[in-house]
Structure 1
Amino acid sequence: MKIFVDADASPVQKEVILIAGKYNLSVVLVKSFSHFSHEKNPPYVETIYVDKGADMADFEIIKLAKQNDVVITQDYGLASLCLGKGCHVVHHKGFQYTNDNIDRLLSSRHASAMARRGGYRTKGPKPYTEEERQNFKDLLHKVINEQIM
């Protein structure tokens, strides 16, 4: 099992790396060259850089992720594709994407996009909270434990 992180805008990269280290799991951070960093990570962390462009990181994750891998993303479309491959998909706000909730999430995303195209102004995301960070860490531990037990 590997953990893949859609890392361009992920606020939980450090948490993922720390948790993966406790379980001796590999982490793959996938991000565009526009987010290049010289930061050193532990040897169990690989960073893959992709060309700048819409969905390039998503395409790379889809290509690499396998059944029972864990994918961390806030992108509902990527989540849907990863669920189809049998991956465990987690949002950084601390909820898990499932076959039971993905259709509702995709419909909501589509409705918001249509409203924006029609001139309606939608609110941006709320600030990321420490409660959400803790919920994410708890859920990631739970997902990993369910797979290794």
Structure 2
Amino acid sequence: MKNEDSTQIFEVFVDADSCPVKDEIELVAESYKVKVTFVSSYAHNMTVGPTSKVVMVDAEREAVDLYIANHIKKKDVCVTHDYGLASLLLTKGATVISPRGQMFDHTIIDSLLAQRHQSQKDRRAGKKTKGPRAYLKGDRERFIQQFEKILSNRAGI
């Protein structure tokens, strides 16, 4: 989204390696004329439309997260399912949404991180834990609705 003097007010960053809603992000963002930066490791090949860009980073474990954390600004939006990255970005004043349409905020992030930590401890102890549930059509619809709401609020509509 740009203001009258053509400076970018905010942009959208996408943790793109395993994001199932890339097309939807581009479609909604384009309708609001918002710049989208998809950040992906070299291990993932992707193409985007003319109004978006792709930043390729090393295939190291946290390279995408580090790029986003170092480039995001207050008021920017990030799409990620990574609770750790979401927590970091919230402290920078960014808006963070999951590909399932879940809004991350300071009231829930600590409990999500605690659950993740407990699951990691359980796995290290040899216990079986559940992975994420299947991505459903309703998740995609919820994401589009929430993402549209974020961008329309930012645009003052």
Interval containing the TM-score (normalised by the shorter chain): over 0.9
Native 8 Å contact 1:28 1:45 kept in 2 = yes
Runs ≥4 residues deviating over 4 A: none
| TM-score, length-scaled by structure 2 | 0.91
List aligned pairs for 1:1-149, cutoff 5 A. Answer: 1-37=10-46, 39=47, 41-149=48-156
Gaps of 5+ in 2: 1-9
> Aligned-pair distance for 1:22?
0.4
Find the aligned partners of 2:27 and 2:88 in 1 and give their Cα distance.
26
| TM-score, length-scaled by structure 1 | 0.96
Gaps of 5+ in 1: none
> Aligned-pair distance for 1:92?
0.7
Q: Report the secondary structure of 1:35's partner residue.
A: coil
Native 8 Å contact 1:68 1:87 kept in 2 = yes
Equivalenced residue count is: 147
Find the aligned partners of 2:33 and 2:101 in 1 and give their Cα distance.
22
Native 8 Å contact 1:3 1:71 kept in 2 = yes
Q: Report the secondary structure of 1:46's partner residue.
A: strand
Native 8 Å contact 1:7 1:31 kept in 2 = yes
> Aligned-pair distance for 1:43?
2.3
Native 8 Å contact 2:32 2:155 kept in 1 = no
> Aligned-pair distance for 1:126?
1.7
